[in-house]
């Protein structure tokens, strides 16, 4: 029964009766306040779709206190007016409640949308989903996410909004970094997740399409000979100070071979051929692979002792897995060398740059690194092993020489043409006092 216009005063005056009931507005038919036996109150609108003989449908507009009476009245007018045109708000609201959140879509994608991905790639995807995507977009419904949301997400990740240093276990840490490169690559992953959602008919379009990503600067750091010398010196100092020998050896092998970190830390003795100078990997990012290694890399491996009961060249300190602590050693080394953001993967690029600086042909370097592009790799097929192996040997020797440069040189200050002081390595004479 209508009881006058609903206002804040009339709503406050409504008393509970111990039963649920609706206090209807006297001016707008279909607008009311539902009062629960508990005493809670909420604004509601009721309507019919299709005439008098169809059942009433009810929509909760909002709780009293969270929305004002006048604002609730305007929403009720809109709902009732649209219902006359056939729009069923109650059904739409029920559908929205049943719709998956983006977090649920991400979980489904990891289960059903990654069949062709390698375990290492899948692990990276999981990290980006858990550390960046779910915190910023996970609670939204799949249909709610728009292109502006994606653009805002990219800016937030680039600005470091999701950056964190997380303790993962007793002695483990997950360092989550932001930046434009991370943002660009994570938006690329978002595009794949939304394409999966479209294929499963969870939404009609992909909001990532058309989003202009930041240029991905991944892999553009190349160390000069002088910079490699700083890294080599810092590594030698870390070794002398008692750094984990496995971590030191892994870093040297990465620098001397141009291999990927995953290829070295998971290396097994069965894949090492020191006599012929090859690492014959059963699997890698690009599948089975043969890496030619030079004398410096062979020397590193020759000084690593096999651990009984483990197949790995660098086994974990406990359990049956492989060594996991190289990043911890690397953070200290790069900091001591003055490169706060240098990645282990940059040693791979630096290996290639040393080869290019020596005048080695791109196909030779591509063969050593195991280039992933099929067309590029096909151009290497006519190359014999000898020039490839020779280049690997010479490049690794050049890197080793750069690592050891600081051991045979003093840093002296000289003046350049403009009168500025510049530090230059100065070779000591035999028998001279450091």
The CATH number given to whatever domain includes residue 27 is 3.30.160.390
Say if residue 371's pLDDT is above 60. yes
My answer on whether 138 and 229 are in the same domain is no
> In terms of Cα–Cα distance, which of 333, 351, 246 is closest to 294?
351
Do 81 and 136 share a structural domain? no
Mean pLDDT of the chain: 83
Q: What would the pLDDT profile of 182-228 be if each residue is shown by its tens digit? A: 899 999 999 999 999 999 888 899 999 999 998 865 545 778 888 99
242 and 177 assigned to the same domain: no
Structural domain contains residue 211: no
107 and 93 in one domain? Answer: no
| 390 in the same domain as 285 | yes
**Is 404 domain-assigned?**
yes
Per-residue confidence (pLDDT) for residue 167, from 0 to 100: 61
Residue 53 has which token pair?
């003989």
Q: 335 in a domain, yes or no?
A: yes
Owning domain of residue 179: 102-199
Q: For residues 79 and 45, is the Cβ–Cβ distance under 8 A?
A: yes
Q: What span, in angstroms and rounded, lies between the C-alpha atoms of 273 and 271?
A: 7
pTM of the predicted structure, to 2 decimals: 0.52
Q: Give Rg (Cα) of the chain.
A: 33
Which CATH number fits the domain that encloses residue 275? 1.10.443.10
Q: Are 184 and 305 found together in one domain? A: no
For residue 231, tell me if it sits in a domain: yes
Where residue 411 falls among pLDDT bands split at 50, 70, 90? very low
List pLDDT tens digits, range 130-141: 999 999 999 999
375 and 271 housed in the same domain: yes
Handedness of CA 344, 349, 350, 351 (dihedral sign): positive
pLDDT exceeds cutoff 80 at 168 = no
Residue 18, pLDDT score: 84
Q: Is the pLDDT of residue 45 over 70?
A: yes
CA dist 379 and 395 (Å) reads: 21
Nearest to 208 by CA among 153, 141, 150: 150
Number of domains in the chain: 3
Contact 251, 329 (CB under 8 A): yes
What sign results for the dihedral spanned by CA atoms 33, 34, 39, 41?
Answer: negative
């Amino acid at each position: 029964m209508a009881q006058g216009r609903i206002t804040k005063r009339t709503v406050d005056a409504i008393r509970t009766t111990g039963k649920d009931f609706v206090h209807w507005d006297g001016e707008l038919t279909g607008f009311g306040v539902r009062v629960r036996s508990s005493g809670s109150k909420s604004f509601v609108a009721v309507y019919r779709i299709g005439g008098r003989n169809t059942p009433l449908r009810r929509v909760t507009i909002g709780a009293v206190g969270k929305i004002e009476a006048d604002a609730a009245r305007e929403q009720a007018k809109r709902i009732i007016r649209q219902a006359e045109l056939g729009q069923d708000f109650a059904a739409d609201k029920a559908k929205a409640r049943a719709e998956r959140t983006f977090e649920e879509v991400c979980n489904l994608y990891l289960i059903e949308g990654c069949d062709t991905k390698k375990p290492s790639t899948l692990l990276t995807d999981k990290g980006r989903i858990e550390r960046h995507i779910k915190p910023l977009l996970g609670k939204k419904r799949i249909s709610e996410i728009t292109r502006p949301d994606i653009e805002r997400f990219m800016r937030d990740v680039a600005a470091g909004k999701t950056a964190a240093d997380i303790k993962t276990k007793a002695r483990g840490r997950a360092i989550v970094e932001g930046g434009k490169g991370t943002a660009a690559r994570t938006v690329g992953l978002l595009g794949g997740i939304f394409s999966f959602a479209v294929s499963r008919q969870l939404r009609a379009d992909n909001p990532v399409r058309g989003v202009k990503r930041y240029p991905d600067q991944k892999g553009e750091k190349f160390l000069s000979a002088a910079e490699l010398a700083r890294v080599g010196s810092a590594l030698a100092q870390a070794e002398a100070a008692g750094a984990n020998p496995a971590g030191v050896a892994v870093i040297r092998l990465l620098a001397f071979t141009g291999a990927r970190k995953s290829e070295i830390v998971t290396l097994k003795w069965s894949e090492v051929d020191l006599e012929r100078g090859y690492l014959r990997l059963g699997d890698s990012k690009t599948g089975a692979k043969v890496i030619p290694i030079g004398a410096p890399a062979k020397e590193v491996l020759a000084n690593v002792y096999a651990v009984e009961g483990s197949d790995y060249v660098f086994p974990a300190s406990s359990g049956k897995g492989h060594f996991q602590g190289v990043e911890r050693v690397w953070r200290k080394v790069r900091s001591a060398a003055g490169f706060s953001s240098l990645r282990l993967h940059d040693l791979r690029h630096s290996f290639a740059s040393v080869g290019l600086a020596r005048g080695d042909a791109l196909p030779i370097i591509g063969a050593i690194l195991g280039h992933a592009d099929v067309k590029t790799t096909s151009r290497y097929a006519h190359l014999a092993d000898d020039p490839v192996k020779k280049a690997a040997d010479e490049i690794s020797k050049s890197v080793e020489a750069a690592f050891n440069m600081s051991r045979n040189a003093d840093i002296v200050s000289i003046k350049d043409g403009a009168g500025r002081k510049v530090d230059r390595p100065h070779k000591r004479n035999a028998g001279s006092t450091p």
